[in-house]
Amino acid sequence: MGSSYLETFKAGTENIHPGLSVDCVIISFHEQKMKILLNKYKLNKLWMLPGGLVHKNEDVDEAVQRVLFQRTGLTNIKLRQFYLFGKKDRCNIDNNRELLESYGVSPDDIPNLMSRYATMGYFAFVRYDQVSLSEDDADLSMWFDIDKIPKLSHDHNEIINRAIKHIRLLIDIIPIGYELLPEEFTIVELRKIYEGILGEELDKRNFRKRMLTSELIVSLDKKRETDPYPQPNLYSFNMKRIEELLDL
């Protein structure tokens, strides 16, 4: 893991599908904050989304699974396509040229990066404690708070914004949170996830009632004893109900 992009630069273009890439908005939850994973070449100024060029011998869905493994060490993650980004000026060609030259790679050897390419956007929810961030002499990865994303390379800020809007539209249709929280959790933790996505505070009582009425969660007859007083009640996800919704 880690140096995959630099290795791709050096390997040439024989196995690269021309003009097509994938970018993934990887979302997690840690210390009551929603997080998005970004990565950066150490010689590059701007952070960007985990992504890469599609190989000729793989499906687009296979390509994004490969990228996710390279960036997080995770496999078999539920990834959802949400938009194809293909504006004619979406790629910063000058930045690509500068990056290649900083690694001693001729832009002529990677013609795909010297022209516009379309990228398929995906998003995925992952458990924070299950992610192993890559870092080596080529590039590094880091979590950023969802409301503190810096200026990114290419159109990656737009990709994140559209992913969040897409999730907001589906928030009453697809179950949210079960991929982010442990088996037992508090209602506050679940509410913080919804608030992080929606960008607004939610009424505590109405949220709890709404979640229980939806049958997405089940109240457990136990409390989190490690927390200071008052010890919060614990809940678990109703996986039968969640699987029913995922099959819709």
Query: Is the pLDDT reported for residue 156 higher than 70?
Result: yes
pLDDT, position 234: 95
Q: What is the pLDDT of residues 36-49, one digit of tens each?
A: 999 887 777 889 99
| Beta-carbon contacts of residue 231 (< 8 Å; ≥ 6 apart) | 223, 224, 225
pLDDT, position 6: 53
Q: What is the pLDDT of residues 200-221, one digit of tens each?
A: 999 999 999 999 999 999 999 8
Percent over 90 (pLDDT), the chain: 51
Q: What is the pLDDT of residues 65-79, one digit of tens each?
A: 988 887 778 888 889
Sequence spans of domains, the chain: 3-154, 184-247
Mean pLDDT computed over 91-116:
73
For the question of whether the overall pTM of this predicted structure is more than 0.95, the answer is no
Strands (E), 31-175: 33-41, 51-55, 80-85, 118-125, 139-145
Rounded to the nearest angstrom, the gap between the alpha carbon of residue 161 and the centroid of all alpha carbons in its chain is 12
CATH architecture of 3-154: Alpha-Beta Complex (3.90)
Query: Is the pLDDT reported for residue 144 higher than 80?
Result: yes
Q: Position of tokens 């590094």?
A: 140
Q: What's the CA gap between 101 and 58, in Å, rounded? A: 28
CATH architecture of 184-247: Orthogonal Bundle (1.10)
Q: What is the pLDDT of residues 114-131, one digit of tens each?
A: 677 899 999 999 999 888
